[in-house]
Amino acid sequence: MRRTLLFCLISASIGAIAATAWQQTGGYPRVTAQEPPFRQQANAPLALPPPPASTRRASDATLGEFSPEERTNILVYEKSNRSVVHITTKATQRELLILDVPAEGTGSGSILDQNGHVLTNYHVVEGAQEISVTLHDGKSYDARLVGYDPPNDVAVLRISAPPDELVPMDLGDSTRLKVGQIVYAIGNPFGLERTMTTGIISSLNRSLPTKGNRTMKSIIQIDAALNRGNSGGPLLDTRGRLIGMNTAIASSTGENTGVGFAIPVETVRRVVPQLIAHGKVNRPEAGISRVYQNEEGLVIATMIPGGPAEQAGLRGFKVVREQKRRGPFSYEERKIDRAQADTIVAVDGEKAITADTFLSLIERHLPGERAIITVVREGKLVDVAVVLGAGE
């Protein structure tokens, strides 16, 4: 009897404790097991981290739904599109030597500064009698041609727009580009303003022929879609910096075939300050006026009298005068001695066996700088230091 009573008391105590635990926890006690490692469910969207604070904009609160690649595309466009302008030109062209017919052209450009300077291709504005520049807000301004450089297909315009309406483009670095790098092109193809296309750098150091039998060097080849109206527009990297200026496409139809070309920004950095200051490029002059190309290199024929090459001691063709007599008459006979002429093979250690390559290497310098021209003289290689003059 006593054992039964004691058992009942113990049972009642345990029941009271259990009831108290039920009231405190709100139900049966939960068992917490160690969770397995996270596994992405099939077809589930990725959880994306927020973009770096340095790149956030007011609209970035809505970017979490986009992939990292999409987010980069959006940020590049938002950063750069206000710096891109639409250029339209008007000119007259004569048909049948009688009738002057109005002609219109279109292209793209980039704002360089808040003084109203705009970068574009020379071929976009060549021969134009009227030039108009339309900004991102739709406002249009008459533009004047400040300067141009046909060998590099670069031109600078200027508009009289309020500084607070001008958003200058950030300039990048084209010396460190890599094939496969993602790039963006913004322009006005077919008049469709501020259209962005994307692609990669397909190749580097391409060459493009220009007027005057010259060749542009270090051209960037891309597969981003370019069409008529893209000329003069910016080529951008993933940080929205200008790394080139779109200038041409390879096409038999005039439409995009996936092969486009851009002038590197380093050329822009070198040329534009001179165009703004002088309206033209003051090119260095070596003082060599005529050369002949052979299998070995460039044979110097003539030099500018008293010019840099002659002062440095380079040798060209020599005119030999001989006095001869025939019967009662005496006369002077002139002959050209080509044996003593120097043959150019390199400039600053880089091979230069064509006239175009020679000029391109010389133009890496500024007037007054020294170029080392390597020549073959009497069967030996000789380095000659030439202090370059100023040419056109």
Q: Is 137 a catalytic residue?
A: no
Active-site residue identified among 86, 117, 123, 365:
123
Residue 347 CB neighbours (<10 A): 22
Q: Is 231 a catalytic residue?
A: yes
Catalytic residue among 202, 231, 342, 360: 231
Those residues with Cβ within 8 angstroms of residue 256's Cβ, 6 or more apart along the chain or in another chain:
225, 226, 227, 249
Spatial separation of the C-alpha atoms in residues 235 and 122, rounded to whole Å: 17
Supply φ then ψ for residue 51, to 5 degrees: -70, 160
100 is catalytic: no
Contacts of 172 (CB under 8 A, 6+ apart): 236, 237, 239, 241, 242, 243, 265
| CA 341/CA 296 separation, integer angstroms | 13
Pairwise CA distance, residues 245 & 110, whole Å:
9
CA dist 282 → 153, 199, 275 (Å): 15, 36, 9
The residues, any chain, with a CB within 8 Å of residue 149's CB and separated by 6 or more, are 122, 155, 271, 274, 275, 280, 281
Query: Quick one: which of 141, 132, 30, 122 has its CA closest to 89?
Result: 132
**Residues listed for the chain:** 392
Marked catalytic residue, from 86, 110, 117, 153: 153
As annotated, the active-site residues are 123, 153, 231
